[in-house]
Amino acid sequence: PYPEPSVRCEVVGWQKVLYERQPFPDNYVDQRFLEELRKNVSARKYQYWSVVFESGVVIQQLCSVCVFLVIWWYMDEGLLAPQWLFGTGLASSLVGYVLFDLIDGGTGRKKSGRTRWADLKSALVFITFTYGFSPVLKTLTESVSTDTIYAMSVFMLLGHLIFFDYGANAAIVSSTLSLNMAIFASVCLASRLPRSLHAFIMVTFAIQIFALWPMLQKKLKACTPCSYVGVTLLFALSALVGLLTISGVGAILFALLLLSISCLCPYYLIRLQLFKENIHGPWDEAEIKEDLSRFLT
Amino acid sequence: MGLLSGGAAEAGQGQAIPAGLLGPPRSRRLQPQGSAPRSWIPTMVLKVFFPSCCSSADSGLLIGRWIPEQNSAVILAVVHFPFIPFQVKQYLSEVQKVSQVDIVVLGTWCNNKQEKEENLGKFLDDLGTIFSHEPWLQISKEKGSKFWSCHTLSRQADTPTEDQVILVYYDQRKVMLSRLHPPEISLDNQPGVITAPDASKLAAVFDTVAKSEVLFMTDRYDDGPIKLTHWQSEGVEASIIVELAKQASVPVCMLLTGLLSLVSGLCKSRIFKFWPVSFIWSKLSTCEQVRYRLEHLRFVFSNQKAENQNQLMRKANIFVSLLVDVALGILLLSWLYRKNRIGQLADALIPVADHVARELQDLLQWLMGVPAGLKMNRALDQVLGRFFLYHIHLWISYIHLLSPFIEMILWYVGLSACLGLTVVLSILSDIFALLTFHIYCFYVYGARLYCLKIYGLSSLWRLFRGKKWNVLRQRVDSCSYDLDQLFIGTLLFTILLFLLPTTALYYLVFTLLRLLVVIVQGLIHLLVDLIDSLPLYSIGLRFCRSYRLAAGVKFRVLEQEEGRPLRLLMQINPLSYGSVVQTYRLPTYSCYPKDTWGSLCKKLFFGELIYPWKQKGDKQD
Amino acid sequence: MTKSHLNMAYRRVNGPGQSLTSILSHNNCGIHQPCRTGTHNICMVSDFFYPNMGGVESHIYQLSQCLIERGHKVIIVTHAYGNRKGIRYLTSGLKVYYLPLKVMYNQSTATTLFHSLPLLRYIFVRERVTIIHSHSSFSAMAHDALFHAKTMGLQTVFTDHSLFGFADVSSVLTNKLLTVSLCDTNHIICVSYTSKENTVLRAALNPEIVSVIPNAVDPTDFTPDPFRRDDNVITIVVISRLVYRKGIDLLSGIIPELCQKYPDLNFIVGGEGPKRIILEEVRERYQLHDRVRLLGALEHQDVRDVLVQGHIFLNTSLTEAFCMAIVEAASCGLQVVSTRVGGIPEVLPDNLIILCEPSVKSLCDGLERAISQQKSGTLPDPEKIHNKVKTFYTWRNVAERTEKVYDRVSREVVLPMDKRLNRLISHCGPVTGCTFALLAVLNFLFLIFLRWLTPDSIIDIAVDATGPNGAWTQQYSYSKKGEENKEISESR
List CB contacts (< 8 A) between A29 and chain C: 207-208
Which whole number is the average pLDDT over B182-195? 42
Which whole number is the average pLDDT over B348-355? 82
CA distance C193 to chain A (A): 7
pLDDT at A85 over 70: yes
User: Given B9, B15, B38, which is nearest C19 (Cβ)?
Assistant: B15
User: Given A136, A137, A183, which is nearest B487 (Cβ)?
Assistant: A183
pLDDT of C15: 37
pLDDT of C74: 93
> Are residues A68 and A4 part of one domain?
no
List CB contacts (< 8 A) between C404 and chain A: 1-2, 26
Bridge partners for B557 per DSSP: B568
pLDDT of B40: 37
C26 touches chain B (CB under 8 A): yes
pLDDT band of residue A244 (cuts 50, 70, 90) is: very high
Q: Among A171-180, B194-203, B318-327, whose mean pLDDT is lowest?
A: B194-203
B:360-379 residues touching chain A, CB 8 A cutoff: 375-379
pLDDT of B193: 42
Cβ-defined contact of B25 to C22 (cutoff 8 Å): yes
pLDDT of C354: 93
List CB contacts (< 8 A) between A126 and chain B: 484, 487
pLDDT of C16: 39
C365 touches chain B (CB under 8 A): no
Cβ-defined contact of A288 to C359 (cutoff 8 Å): yes
Return the higher-pLDDT residue of B613 and A36. Answer: A36
List CB contacts (< 8 A) between C257 and chain A: 295
pLDDT tens string C213-235: 998 988 888 999 888 888 889 99
pLDDT of C486: 40
Q: Return the top range by mean pLDDT from B223-232, B589-598, C85-94.
A: C85-94
Q: Are C480 and C4 in contact (CB under 8 A)?
A: no
pTM score of the predicted model: 0.64
pLDDT band of residue B118 (cuts 50, 70, 90) is: low
> What percentage of chain C exceeds 70 in pLDDT?
88
User: Given C85, C90, C99, which is nearest B9 (Cβ)?
Assistant: C90
Which domains are delineated in chain C?
Answer: 32-216+399-468 (3.40.50.2000), 219-393 (3.40.50.2000)
pLDDT of C156: 94
Which whole number is the average pLDDT over A174-199? 90
C260 phi-psi bin (left φ>0, alpha ψ -120 to 50, beta other): alpha
List CB contacts (< 8 A) between B462 and chain A: none
Q: Among A6-20, A234-248, C309-323, C473-487, whose mean pLDDT is lowest?
A: C473-487
Q: Among B72-76, C391-395, C476-480, whose mean pLDDT is lowest?
A: C476-480
Partner chains of A (3+ C-beta pairs under 8 Å): B, C
Residues B332, B527: Cα–Cα separation, whole Å:
15
Cβ-defined contact of A1 to C408 (cutoff 8 Å): yes
pLDDT at B110 over 50: yes
C:370-429 residues touching chain A, CB 8 A cutoff: 392-393, 397, 401, 404-405, 407-408
pLDDT of B191: 40
pLDDT of C487: 38
Q: Return the top range by mean pLDDT from B141-155, B163-177, C146-160.
A: C146-160
Return the higher-pLDDT residue of C473 and C343. Answer: C343
B486 touches chain A (CB under 8 A): yes
Helix spans in C264-381 (H): 276-285, 303-307, 324-331, 344-347, 360-376
Q: Return the top range by mean pLDDT from B293-302, B394-403, B504-513.
A: B504-513
Neighbour tally for B279: CB within 10 Å? 11
DSSP code per residue over C341-373? -TTHHHHS-GGGEEEE-SSHHHHHHHHHHHHHH
- On the 0-12 / 13-18 / 19+ scale of CB atoms within 10 A, B497 is middle
pLDDT at C316 over 90: yes
> Are residues A234 and A110 part of one domain?
yes
Measured torsion, CA atoms of residues B418, B422, B426, B428, in degrees rounded to the nearest 10: 70
Cβ-defined contact of A177 to B464 (cutoff 8 Å): yes
Which whole number is the average pLDDT over B220-242? 65
* B359 in a structural domain: no
pLDDT of C489: 40
pLDDT of C490: 38
Which whole number is the average pLDDT over C30-39? 49
Quote the domain boundaries for residue B139. Answer: 44-234
Return the higher-pLDDT residue of B297 and A227. Answer: A227
User: Given B4, B13, B23, which is nearest C300 (Cβ)?
Assistant: B4
Structural domain total, chain B: 1
Q: Among B466-470, C66-70, C250-254, whose mean pLDDT is lowest?
A: B466-470
pLDDT of B620: 32
pLDDT band of residue A29 (cuts 50, 70, 90) is: confident
* B314 in a structural domain: no
pLDDT at B227 over 80: no
> Are residues A145 and A233 part of one domain?
yes
Cβ-defined contact of A126 to B484 (cutoff 8 Å): yes
* B299 in a structural domain: no
pLDDT at C492 over 50: no
> Are residues A74 and A22 part of one domain?
no
> Are residues A230 and A105 part of one domain?
yes
Query: How far, in Å, are B218, B392, B444 from residue B449 at the CA level?
Result: 79, 19, 8
Q: Are B579 and B538 in contact (CB under 8 A)?
A: no
pLDDT of B379: 84
pLDDT at A260 over 90: yes
> Are residues A243 and A156 part of one domain?
yes
Residues C132, C150: Cα–Cα separation, whole Å:
9
Query: How far, in Å, are B10, C11, C462, C478 from residue C488 at the CA level?
Result: 12, 9, 20, 16
pLDDT of B478: 78
Mean confidence (pLDDT) of chain B: 73
pLDDT of C329: 92
pLDDT of A291: 76
Quote the domain boundaries for residue A92. Answer: 53-273
pLDDT of C314: 95
B156-166 b/e with 16+ CB inside 10 Å = b?
Answer: eeeeeeeeebb
pLDDT at C20 over 50: no
pLDDT of B183: 45
Cβ-defined contact of C207 to A18 (cutoff 8 Å): no
DSSP code per residue over A191-204? TTSSSHHHHHHHHH
Which whole number is the average pLDDT over B42-58? 71
Structural domain total, chain A: 2
Which whole number is the average pLDDT over A124-147? 86
Return the higher-pLDDT residue of C22 and C417. Answer: C417
Residues B220, B223: Cα–Cα separation, whole Å:
8
Cβ-defined contact of C9 to B197 (cutoff 8 Å): no
Q: List, in order, residues 6 or more apart from C156 with CB less than 8 Å away.
A: C131, C132, C133, C134, C146, C149, C150, C185, C186, C187, C409, C414
> Are residues A66 and A22 part of one domain?
no
pLDDT at B32 over 70: no
B382-417 b/e with 16+ CB inside 10 Å = b?
Answer: eebbeebeebbeebbeebeeeeeebbeebeebbebb
pLDDT of B120: 62
* B519 in a structural domain: no
Which whole number is the average pLDDT over A157-164? 93
pLDDT at C437 over 90: yes
Return the higher-pLDDT residue of B84 and C200. Answer: C200
pLDDT of C26: 39
User: From C323, which residue of chain A is nearest by alpha-carbon distance?
Assistant: A18
Which whole number is the average pLDDT over C68-83? 91
Q: Return the top range by mean pLDDT from A267-271, B400-404, B571-575, C110-114.
A: A267-271
> What percentage of chain A exceeds 70 in pLDDT?
95
pLDDT of A255: 95
Q: Are C42 and C67 in contact (CB under 8 A)?
A: yes
pLDDT tens string B600-610: 888 888 888 87
User: From B35, which residue of chain C is nearest by alpha-carbon distance?
Assistant: C6
pLDDT of A58: 92
Element (H, E) at C158: strand C155-160
* B22 in a structural domain: no
CA distance B358 to chain A (A): 28
C1 touches chain B (CB under 8 A): no
**How many pairs of residues across A and C have Cβ atoms under 8 Å apart?**
120
Amino acid found at B15: Q
pLDDT at C134 over 90: yes
* B110 in a structural domain: yes
* A169 in a structural domain: yes
> Are residues A80 and A15 part of one domain?
no
pLDDT of A111: 80
Cβ-defined contact of B377 to A143 (cutoff 8 Å): yes
Q: Return the top range by mean pLDDT from B210-214, B220-224, B473-477.
A: B473-477
> Are residues A114 and A66 part of one domain?
yes
pLDDT of B26: 35
pLDDT of B112: 67
Nearest residue to C128 via CA among C236, C191, C41: C41
* A199 in a structural domain: yes
Return the higher-pLDDT residue of B458 and B86. Answer: B458
List CB contacts (< 8 A) between C318 and chain A: 285-288
C:214-273 residues touching chain B, CB 8 A cutoff: 217-218, 221
Cβ-defined contact of C256 to A286 (cutoff 8 Å): no
* A266 in a structural domain: yes
CA distance A293 to chain B (A): 16
pLDDT band of residue C41 (cuts 50, 70, 90) is: very high
Which whole number is the average pLDDT over B405-433? 83
Partner chains of C (3+ C-beta pairs under 8 Å): A, B
> Are residues A197 and A103 part of one domain?
yes
* A288 in a structural domain: no
User: From B375, which residue of chain A is nearest by alpha-carbon distance?
Assistant: A143
Mean confidence (pLDDT) of chain A: 86
pLDDT at A247 over 70: yes
* A185 in a structural domain: yes
> Are residues A197 and A66 part of one domain?
yes
pLDDT band of residue B391 (cuts 50, 70, 90) is: confident
pLDDT tens string B52-84: 777 777 777 778 887 777 777 888 777 777 777
The residue of C158, C163, C174, C197 whose CB has the most chain A CBs within 10 angstroms, and thus the best one to mutate to test that interface, is C197
Cβ-defined contact of C247 to A288 (cutoff 8 Å): yes
User: Given C6, C53, C90, which is nearest B10 (Cβ)?
Assistant: C90
pLDDT band of residue C76 (cuts 50, 70, 90) is: very high
Q: Among A194-198, A286-290, B593-597, whose mean pLDDT is lowest?
A: B593-597
- On the 0-12 / 13-18 / 19+ scale of CB atoms within 10 A, C221 is middle
**How many pairs of residues across B and C have Cβ atoms under 8 Å apart?**
125
pLDDT band of residue B307 (cuts 50, 70, 90) is: low
> Are residues A219 and A109 part of one domain?
yes
pLDDT band of residue C291 (cuts 50, 70, 90) is: very high
Phi, psi for B529 (deg, rounded to 5): -60, -40
Cβ-defined contact of B30 to C88 (cutoff 8 Å): no
Q: What is the CATH number of the domain that holds B171?
A: 3.40.140
Q: List, in order, residues 6 or more apart from C488 with CB less than 8 Å away.
A: C8, C11, C12
> What percentage of chain C exceeds 90 in pLDDT?
49
